[in-house]
Structure 1
Amino acid sequence: MPKSPEHELMIELQDLIIGTETVAGFLSGLSIVAAGTISRSAGTPVECGVTLKRRRATKTVGGSSDRAILLDKIEQRIGQGPCIEALRIKSPVLLNDVRSDPRWPAYQEQLVAEDCLSVLGVPLELNEDSAAALNFFAQSPGVFTEATVRQAAGFADIAGGAVRLAVKVGTVQDAAQDLQAAMRSRTAIDLACGIIMAQNGCTQAEAMDILVKVSSHRNQKLRDVTEEMIVKISGVKPVTHFDGHQALP
């Protein structure tokens, strides 16, 4: 049975999540997929930038090209335009002809200078604290027809779920990295305590007290102090059992 375009898009976005290491990398890849999808619908080349909104601030986080990023940043710098308006009203906003639409004159003046004559902003729902939007750019006016706007909105509905998943994956990855760093720190401290206990015939609590005093005296982090001690004695940095498995093929 042939797959629907929506199903194929979902598979493509899932593969994109798996194939990128960061949320920013995923959003850049998403902008390329979005630009290709809407270019086919419009029958002319379209570029796409991605804007992320957290609380009240918006910023450009990716684009299908350097030019798309440049165009998206114009709107963020000026603070008004179809993408920001789409985030506010949670609905697509069309700037059909940059030369004649009166809504954002300062923004549109700069778009004309960059040879961009039509823009479409489409919001992506993420969560209560953040949202994102796709900002589509075309060199000709009237590129984004009603049918193209509907397709862009449908793309955003599917992409929104993928973005939420990517953010969750990124959060899990960050937590795993924090845990790994904590494990390395704990390993170094335990080894250093063992060295001091052997050298001074003291208890673990007394060894820890010595390390804390050295850390305070040197104004260094406890982990850095313990790693220096271990390197001085063994010639190599301490690794956890987890680190050792990470290095295996």
Structure 2
Amino acid sequence: MTNSPEHELLLELQDLIVGTGSVAEFLGGLSVSAASALSRSAGTAIECGVTLKHGRRTATVGGSTDRAVELDRIEQQVGDGPCIAALKVKQPVLLADVRTDPRWPDYQQRLIEEGVQSVLGVPLELSQGATAALNFFSPVTDAFSKAVIDEAVSFADVARNAVGLAVRVATAEDAADDLSAAMASRTAINLACGIIMGQNRCTQNEAMDILIKVSSHRNQKLRVVAEEIVTKVSGAGPTTYFDM
């Protein structure tokens, strides 16, 4: 049985998730596949940048070429354009001719300087409070016919789950890193307080006050002062259970 193009794309994206080390690297590979698919459909060279919005932060995180990344960043710098609009309205936004469309004059002037004549923004609805958009760039006007736009939407539909999975994995890894850092910091502070209590025969609250005063006097973070105290006494830095 022959696999459908959608199935082949899904397998390709799954391989990307496994074979890349970060969301940015994965989205870079995704943009290469997207640009290739639309170039075939449009019959002309298409470049693709990927914008990821997580919380209040919107940033370009990948591109089929270095130039595509820079083109996508122009829109972030200007603050508006088809890709950002697509994220807001949750549907494709077409800029068929940068020389005649009246919507984003500053952005379009920058595109003209870069030799870009038409742009298509296609959103990807994700979970975890994140959204993404594919930003396609063409050197010719009216490159994005209805058939090409349908191809872009179809690609986005297939890619959505893979992109969402990559974002969820990265979010979980970031949360684990934050938790590990917090635990390490708390371990160092607790150990330092214990040392101060033993040396000064004081209460835990009094030990914490001493630690805070030293931190303020040295203009160092509390965790750094605590780690120095533990290292000076034990000859080694503090270790959490999960570091062992």
TM-score by length of 2: 0.82
Q: After the TM superposition, which of the residue ranges 214-223 and 200-209 deviates more from structure 2?
A: 200-209
Any residues of structure 2 matched to 1:143-222 within 5 Å, and which?
143-200=143-200, 207-208=207-208, 210-222=210-222
Any residues of structure 2 matched to 1:67-216 within 5 Å, and which?
67-127=67-127, 130-200=130-200, 207-208=207-208, 210-216=210-216
**Alignment RMSD (CA, Å):** 3.0
Answer yes or no: is the 8 Å Cα contact 2:23–2:167 preserved in 1: yes
Q: After the TM superposition, which of the residue ranges 16-25 and 177-186 deviates more from structure 2?
A: 16-25
1:12 counterpart letter in structure 2 = E
Deviation string 1:129-169 (CA, Å, 9 cap, x unpaired) is 54321110112233323222111101111222222222222
Answer yes or no: is the 8 Å Cα contact 2:128–2:168 preserved in 1: no
Q: Which runs of 5+ in 1 are unaligned?
A: 245-249
Report the 3-state secondary structure (helix = DSSP H, G, I; strand = E; otherwise coil) of the residue aligned with 2:48. strand
The separation in 1 between residues aligned to 2:63 and 2:16, in whole angstroms, is: 15
1:153 counterpart letter in structure 2 = V
Answer yes or no: is the 8 Å Cα contact 2:92–2:120 preserved in 1: yes
Match of 1:237 in 2: 237
The separation in 2 between residues aligned to 1:15 and 1:157, in whole angstroms, is: 17
Deviation string 1:169-210 (CA, Å, 9 cap, x unpaired) is 222111111111122223323433444455456666665554
Match of 1:3 in 2: 3
Match of 1:40 in 2: 40
Match of 1:60 in 2: 60
The separation in 2 between residues aligned to 1:200 and 1:99, in whole angstroms, is: 76
1:69 counterpart letter in structure 2 = V
Q: Which runs of 5+ in 2 are unaligned?
A: none
1:137 counterpart letter in structure 2 = F
The separation in 2 between residues aligned to 1:188 and 1:55, in whole angstroms, is: 32
1:156 counterpart letter in structure 2 = A
Q: After the TM superposition, which of the residue ranges 48-57 and 141-150 deviates more from structure 2?
A: 48-57
Report the 3-state secondary structure (helix = DSSP H, G, I; strand = E; otherwise coil) of the residue aligned with 1:155. helix
Q: For residue 119 of structure 1, report the CA deviation from its aligned partner.
A: 1.4
TM-score by length of 1: 0.81
2:180 counterpart letter in structure 1 = Q
Alpha-carbon spacing, 1:106–1:220, altered in 2? closer, same or farther (3 Å): closer
Q: For residue 18 of structure 1, report the CA deviation from its aligned partner.
A: 3.4
Q: For residue 90 of structure 1, report the CA deviation from its aligned partner.
A: 1.9
Q: After the TM superposition, which of the residue ranges 158-167 and 204-213 deviates more from structure 2?
A: 204-213
Q: After the TM superposition, which of the residue ranges 8-17 and 116-125 deviates more from structure 2?
A: 8-17
Q: After the TM superposition, which of the residue ranges 173-182 and 47-56 deviates more from structure 2?
A: 47-56
The separation in 2 between residues aligned to 1:196 and 1:104, in whole angstroms, is: 63
The separation in 1 between residues aligned to 2:59 and 2:121, in whole angstroms, is: 14
Q: For residue 100 of structure 1, report the CA deviation from its aligned partner.
A: 4.2
Alpha-carbon spacing, 1:243–1:2, altered in 2? closer, same or farther (3 Å): farther
1:223 correspondence with 2:223? yes
Report the 3-state secondary structure (helix = DSSP H, G, I; strand = E; otherwise coil) of the residue aligned with 1:51. strand
